[in-house]
Chains A and B, each alone.
Chain A
Amino acid sequence: GQQLNQSPQSMFIQEGEDVSMNCTSSSIFNTWLWYKQEPGEGPVLLIALYKAGELTSNGRLTAQFGITRKDSFLNISASIPSDVGIYFCAGYVKAAGNKLTFGGGTRVLVKP
């Protein structure tokens, strides 16, 4: 089946920093989604991407749908403490039906 690999697995942020994470696959995806999950909560949809090359922003978050359709990245600009959480990429493959495949997540932590 389709697998999504996220990197890094975890990262420390310092307030004000820009951070970046990405998601790659050996398969082509038709739609990419980015979610954020905080402890004890469900994933919250941040950004949806539909076309190769598409660049979409939501506040301080920017995500891009890779040209090859096999990757996507998420940037957080000017990070703040409440950006802490786990960020998941998720994707659809039309041929695989209407289920989302999730990546393993990038855990964002605050630098002590």
Chain B
Amino acid sequence: EPEVTQTPSHQVTQMGQEVILRCVPISNHLYFYWYRQILGQKVEFLVSFYNNEISEKSEIFDDQFSVERPDGSNFTLKIRSTKLEDSAMYFCASSVGGQGFYEQYFGPGTRLTVT
């Protein structure tokens, strides 16, 4: 069964460093998303992406964050200058569109630890 994959599974970085989290959405999906989950808390929406542009973003997704679909398969989240409070699990998700638009499928996540 096709699935969303994410790399790396765990990233440790120092405060102020840039990180890029990578995702390969399900191949026929058209809508892509990033969410984050701080330890023990609920999953929070960051950004949605369709047709090579951001379609929606939350207040969390400030100027330090950016997303890109550099080729036909990858979808990346970049944090320009990491802060301690960026430590969280970051999940990529995708949905097919049309009738399946609302059904988002999540990857296994990248645990980001900022020290």
A positions within 8 Å CB-CB of B: 31, 33, 35, 40-45, 48, 50, 88, 90, 92, 97-105
Contact = CB atoms under 8 A, between A and B. Distances in A.
A90 B41 CA distance: 14
Contacts of A31: 102
Interface of B: 4, 6, 31, 33, 35, 41-45, 48, 50, 55-56, 58, 91, 101-109
B101 A42 contact: no
B58 to A, nearest CB: 7
B109 A42 contact: yes
A102 B106 contact: no
A42 B102 contact: no
Contact of B42 (A41, A50, A98, A105): A105
Given A33-B102, A97-B48, A103-B42, A42 B56 contact: no
B102 A50 contact: yes
Contacts of B6: 42
